[in-house]
């Protein structure tokens, strides 16, 4: 049975702060010696849920450097310490409840990724949301509706006079159908599972993103979180992979 106010310390904190709660995640790893790498990822999320509103906001960032082999102007292979990932994203959704279970939602997100299938993409949508299950241990909700997407695919690689060079791809836009499935499960008193599936399906490209996480609380505010993200674009430029994967181990601060 759905409950409007599940008993938890996070919900009581949110009530005391006017309905707002949030978390910040940070992960960093560096290697020196036979290899040299640096990886940094961060995420900030805020949410608010009252009798009438269900809102959320987030910011994420990913940056990595490492040793890679490149070809110089003379055709020689040389090792170079350079940026291998640089991505940031922001998004928000605002939902107005018709009842404790159903709501209308407006959502938007923007992403910039120098090494992804698209250099940048922005999506706005409006749809219907339904909270199928919500209690002290489990939460399951769905969202679906039409939207508009504008994006610029990754640069093309062409060969001119025997040399490879980058050529900017044209900006594209299309109508999409946005779908979101959000699931959370309190496995034990201090262990939580969560999974979010996002779908943005258009006539030219279908984008899927799945975020899975396992978090273990150390204190009321601090936790360790293992995360796995899978991103897939059905239509990419030649030489660009359809799938991107990201594994993270982060420290989480809940507030």
Give the CA count within 13 Å in the CB-facing half-sphere of 204: 13
CA distance 246 to 211: 9
Instruction: Please give the pLDDT value at position 73.
Output: 65
Q: For the domain that residue 246 is a member of, what is the CATH number? A: 2.40.160.40
Encode pLDDT of 114-168 as tens digits: 988 899 999 999 999 999 999 989 999 999 999 999 999 888 777 666 666 778 8
- The β-bridge partners of 147 are 125, 176
| Residue 38 reports pLDDT greater than 50 | yes
Instruction: Please give the pLDDT value at position 120.
Output: 94
The answer to whether residue 202 is domain-embedded is yes
Tell me which DSSP letter residue 239 carries.
T
Helix (H/G/I), strand (E/B), else coil: 203: coil
The answer to whether residue 1 is domain-embedded is no
The answer to whether residue 158 is domain-embedded is yes
Burial (CB < 10 A; 0-12, 13-18, 19+), residue 106, is middle
Q: What total number of domains does the chain contain?
A: 1
**Placement of tokens 């062409």 in the chain:** 158
- The β-bridge partners of 62 are 41, 87
- Name the more confident of 63 and 159: 63
The answer to whether residue 2 is domain-embedded is no
Encode pLDDT of 75-110 as tens digits: 677 777 888 889 999 999 999 999 999 999 999 999
CA distance 250 to 38: 15
CA distance 214 to 109: 24
The whole-model pTM stands at 0.84
The answer to whether residue 116 is domain-embedded is yes
- Lowest-pLDDT choice from 8-12, 22-26, 74-78, 251-255: 8-12
Mean pLDDT (whole number) for 204-227: 95
The answer to whether residue 3 is domain-embedded is no
Take residue 62 and report the two structure tokens written for it: 């990913």
CA nearest neighbour of 141 among 112, 181, 195, 103: 181
The whole domain housing 250 covers 9-254
């Amino acid at each position: 049975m759905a409950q409007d106010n599940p008993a938890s310390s996070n919900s009581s904190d949110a009530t005391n702060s006017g309905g707002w709660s949030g978390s910040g995640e940070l992960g960093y790893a560096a290697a020196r010696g036979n290899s040299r790498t640096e990886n940094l990822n961060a995420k900030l999320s805020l949410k608010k849920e009252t009798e009438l509103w269900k809102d959320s906001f987030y910011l994420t960032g990913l940056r990595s450097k490492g040793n890679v082999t490149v070809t110089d102007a003379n055709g020689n292979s040389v090792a170079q310490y350079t940026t291998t990932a640089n991505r940031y994203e922001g998004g928000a959704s605002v939902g107005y409840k018709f009842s404790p279970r159903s709501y209308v939602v407006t959502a938007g997100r923007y992403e910039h990724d120098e090494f992804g299938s698209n250099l940048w993409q922005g999506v706005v949508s409006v749809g219907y949301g339904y909270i199928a299950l919500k209690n002290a241990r489990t939460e399951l909700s769905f969202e679906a509706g039409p939207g508009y997407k504008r994006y610029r695919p990754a640069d093309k690689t062409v060969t001119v006079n025997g040399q490879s060079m980058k050529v900017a791809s044209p900006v594209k836009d299309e109508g999409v159908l946005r779908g979101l499935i959000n699931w959370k499960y309190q496995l034990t008193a201090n262990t939580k599972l969560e999974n979010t599936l996002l779908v943005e399906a258009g006539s030219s490209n279908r984008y899927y993103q799945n975020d899975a996480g396992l978090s273990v609380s150390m204190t009321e505010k601090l936790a360790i979180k293992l995360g796995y993200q899978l991103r897939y674009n059905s239509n990419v430029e030649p030489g660009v992979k359809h799938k991107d994967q990201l594994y993270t181990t982060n420290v989480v601060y809940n507030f």
